[in-house]
Amino acid sequence: MIPAGVKNAVILGLGISGMAALRFLQDQGLNVAVSEFRPQEKLSPQEQALVQDLDLETGGHSEDFILTRDMIVPGPGIPLDLPVLQAARSAEIPIIGELGLAAGNISVPVIGVTGSNGKTTVTGLIGSLLSDCGYHPFVGGNIGTPLLQALSGPVDYDVLVLELSSFQLDLSGAFRPDIALLLNLSPDHLDRHGTMDRYVRAKQRIFSKQRSDDYAILGGDDPLVMQQTSGIKAAVATFGHDRSHQACIVGDRISLDWRGRQSEFSLTATTLNSKVNRLNAAAAILAVLQLGASDSCIRKGLASFVPAEHRMTQVAELNGVVFINDSKATNVGAMAAALESCPPGTVLIAGGRDKQGDFTGLRELIKKNVAHMICIGEATNLLQETFGDLVEVESARDMQAAVARGAALAGPGQTVLLAPGCASYDMFADYGARGRAFTRAVHALVKTNEPASF
Ligand code: ADP
């Protein structure tokens, strides 16, 4: 929602979200300037083309350039404690993020998904279940296509399914999802939010504008999530392992009891039959129920769902050793979930850029399930200090060396798991590049082990 009277806006930080915000604001008839931290030559050709006739500042964010506008739209990567934003607050210039801009421009039901882990899986699963139930969902937000891009184009969808990050929720303004999901909460992005309390408050914002005719779906196994229920105006449903939850996990089935509707969904023989994905499936089922999905189309959707890459993906089995790529385990909570689903004796490849996660909570789990730990990247010393007294910890110079060492250490029945618990940016462009490096190294090993053909 653009505040009344605003004519001149400035986008802080381009990138995919910034470009979508720029087009959206131009379509609404605003004069839009761009302030970008990168030097001009680092902009992509697409970014260059978009800004060529605009009022543009590159190489930093200056008060002179920014404080002369009457609205500021920071991209999701911009730290909110930048001095220029503090000056803008003092000058009472509105600071609005992409969700805040979208509010008031949405004419279809919105499902918003947040949490520390599982967002992409649940968002994708809800989209896939709805497609199988005859809907035409837009699936995006923090993944894939930004929301403002969807709102700028032709409306060929009848429901929005949005993955929402804490960065986006920080500036969500009047944005109100009809169905809001908070899956779980564990420390993440504390380098940006500063404290766990501020991170949790950002996530909590997903519910803050909801009304009594909306739905809030919460991960009932997570005590910190359940502490967020007070103050929610929407009807609350929870999922988890206790019978008290509306969607309860019993073995590999989900038993549903919600507003008079009782059903059971089996996850046997689906890609969702793991500890974390059973929780993700329960959350997604509760969400699509609110839109009237039938049991039979939910069953069809569960059977056909394929999770995104780099999430507990089995890459190969070589001489009885299973290699698993969980590169998307970029925080301590996801690393814990990965380790819980691996057998004792696992060889763990971990490390990267630390996000100020607290690894000490993993000591029991590491002791129970990990035989050797191979560290890569900046967090090597931290991991050695935290776990060196419990298991064998060593370092590797790159992914190829880590995989080779993992293969040498593991024997039949053991698993070599990539679950870094850290961001990838010290060594790779992103978690996808890190996962691909792991996969390439494993495939190369498999190839060298193939019998020679004549
Ligand atoms: P996000 O989008 O929140 O990062 P993803 O679905 O991409 O979540 O999964 C990221 C990582 O978190 C993967 O490593 C996955 O194994 C782990 N994960 C997925 N779902 C859960 C969950 N419900 N609880 C804990 N960890 C999870």
* pLDDT per residue as tens digits for the range 47-102: 999 999 999 999 999 999 999 999 999 998 898 889 999 999 999 999 999 999 99
Which residues lie across from 394 on neighbouring strands?
Answer: 374
Please compute the mean of the pLDDT values over residues 404-428 and round it to a whole number: 96
**Ligand 1 and 329: CB distance under 6 A:** yes
pLDDT at residue 44, rounded to an integer: 92
How many angstroms does the Cα of residue 119 sit away from the middle of ligand 1?
Answer: 7
Strands of 56-58's sheet, edge to edge? Answer: 56-58, 31-36, 8-12, 71-74
Kindly give the number of the ligand 1 atom that is closest to the alpha carbon of 186: 25
Indicate whether residue 337 lines ligand 1 (CB < 6 A).
Answer: yes
Confidence check: pLDDT of 199 > 70: yes
272 lines ligand 1 (CB under 6 A): no
Q: From 166, 272, 276, 277, give the residue whose CB has the most ligand 1 atoms within 8 Å, as the site to mutate.
A: 276
In three-state secondary structure terms, 256 is strand
Closest by CA position to 236, among listed 256, 222, 217: 217
In this predicted structure, what is the pLDDT of residue 187? 77
Q: What's the CA-to-centroid distance between 95 and ligand 1, angstroms? A: 30
CATH 3.40.50.720 location in the chain? 8-96
400: pLDDT strictly greater than 90: yes
Q: Is the CB of 350 under 6 A from ligand 1?
A: no
Closest ligand 1 atom, residue 307 Cα? 6
Could you tell me where in the chain the CATH 3.90.190.20 domains are found? 313-448
Q: What is the pLDDT of residue 453?
A: 60
User: 356 falls in which pLDDT band (50, 70, 90)?
Assistant: confident
Q: What is the pTM of this model?
A: 0.89
Query: What average pLDDT does the structure give for the chain?
Result: 94
Q: Is the dihedral of CA 192, 198, 199, 204 positive or negative?
A: negative
How does residue 454 score in pLDDT terms, banded at 50, 70 and 90? low
For ligand 1, the distance from its centroid to the CA atom of residue 421, given in whole angstroms, is: 11
Pocket mutation for ligand 1, best pick of 311, 313, 326, 335 (most atoms within 8 Å of C-beta)? 311
Whole-number pLDDT of residue 452? 66
Which residue, 359, 328, 290, is CA-closest to 133?
A: 290
> What pLDDT does residue 355 have?
86
Any idea which fold 8-96 has?
Rossmann fold (3.40.50)
Q: How does residue 155 score in pLDDT terms, banded at 50, 70 and 90? A: confident
Query: Alpha helix locations (H) across 216-331?
Result: 223-226, 275-289, 295-304
> Stretch 163-168: mean pLDDT, rounded?
93
User: Is 379 touching ligand 1 by the criterion CB < 6 Å?
Assistant: no
- Indicate if ligand 1 lies below 6 Å from the C-beta of 270: no
**What's the pLDDT tens digit per position in 361-397?**
999 999 999 999 999 999 999 999 999 999 999 999 9
Average pLDDT over residues 390-412: 97
Terminus-to-terminus CA distance in the chain, angstroms? 68
Of 162, 158, 171, the C-alpha closest to 142 is 162
217: helix, strand or coil: strand
Kindly report the protein residue whose alpha carbon is nearest to atom 26 of ligand 1: 334
Share of the chain above pLDDT 90, in %: 84
Q: pLDDT confidence of 138, banded at 50, 70, 90?
A: very high
- pLDDT confidence of 36, banded at 50, 70, 90? very high
As annotated, the residues of the chain forming the CATH 3.40.1190.10 domain(s) are: 100-304
Q: Is the pLDDT of residue 451 over 80?
A: no
> Would the pLDDT of 241 be above 70?
yes
The CB-based long-range contact list for 396-403 (8 Å cut-off, 24+ gap) reads 396/349, 398/427, 398/437, 399/349, 399/427, 399/434, 399/437, 399/438, 399/441, 400/437, 400/440, 400/441, 400/444, 402/349, 402/374, 402/376, 402/441, 403/323, 403/349, 403/438, 403/441, 403/442, 403/445
CATH of domain 100-304: 3.40.1190.10
Structure tokens belonging to residue 359: 């690894």
Measured in Å, residue 391 CA sits from the centre of ligand 1 at 25
Q: Ligand 1 centroid to 275 CA: how many Å?
A: 11
On whether the 313-448 domain is CATH 3.90.950.10, my answer is: no
Q: Is 27 helix (H, G, I), strand (E, B) or coil?
A: helix
